[in-house]
Amino acid sequence: MALATARKEPIPAPLQDIVPPASGWEAGQQETAVFAGGCFWGVQSVFQRVKGVIKTTVGYTGGQEDTADYRSVSGGNTDHAEAIEIVYDPERVSYGMLLRVFFSVVHDPTQLNRQGADTGTQYRSAIFYTDERQQEVAGAYMRQLDAAHIFPRPIVTQIAPLETFYAGEDYHQDYAIKNPHNPYVQVCDIPKIASLGQQFPELFQEYSR
């Protein structure tokens, strides 16, 4: 599939962010962010190509049951969301920049409990914060974007504390890069990778397993 080449301007950067060293990080410290934005294949395919991201893992979080797997989550029986755990270097990419990619490239944050043809609470837009700093920055950024009317409809992204993240099955990890000719990947995920390169060329890096 040919990738689009039209340049799309990214949404504004967050006015509030978590930036070392003022935030008290030690040199070499890693941080974790957890986002949900539809099918986790595409979310992972974007963030694993962001400079400063060290590791990504697809999985499930935000539900009521004390375990999660693809069959139960995809059936909408546990209230978990398909999500991605991102381990990153805060000296190379900030939490605010990850949020900017999340809202710009990864998904449509104005769609409630769906992304395109994928419907259900398991595909909801959500930010699962690991501490009060992330909660504050995420909330402030959503208010900033809504106040500026960046999107045609209000943002419906849920902000919730991260409790337990359950790693997804092995065959879901790196799914897009392992299955580049899958029709779903071709239609839904490859354009997101192209969009990352177009909107944030300074952040884009190639990825291989």
What is the rounded CA–CA span in Å between residue 95 and residue 69? 28
Residue 208: pLDDT band (50, 70, 90) is: confident
The answer to whether residue 47 scores a pLDDT higher than 70 is: yes
Q: Is the pTM of this model over 0.85?
A: yes
Average pLDDT, the chain: 92
Q: What is the mean pLDDT of the segment spanning 131-144?
A: 98
DSSP 199: H
With 0-12 / 13-18 / 19 or more C-beta atoms within 10 angstroms meaning exposed / middle / buried, residue 135 is middle
Residue 2: pLDDT band (50, 70, 90) is: very low
Structure tokens at 40: 């986790």
pLDDT at 3: 39
- Fold classified for 31-199: Peptide Methionine Sulfoxide Reductase; Chain A (3.30.1060)
Is 188 one of the catalytic residues? no
pLDDT at 209: 74
Q: What is the mean pLDDT of the segment spanning 131-147?
A: 97
Q: Which of 39, 73, 177, 194 is catalytic?
A: 39
Lowest-pLDDT choice from 4-8, 57-61, 142-146, 152-156: 4-8
pLDDT per position as a tens digit, 60-74: 999 988 889 999 998
The answer to whether residue 194 scores a pLDDT higher than 60 is: yes
If you search the block for the tokens 């991260």, which residue do you land on? 162
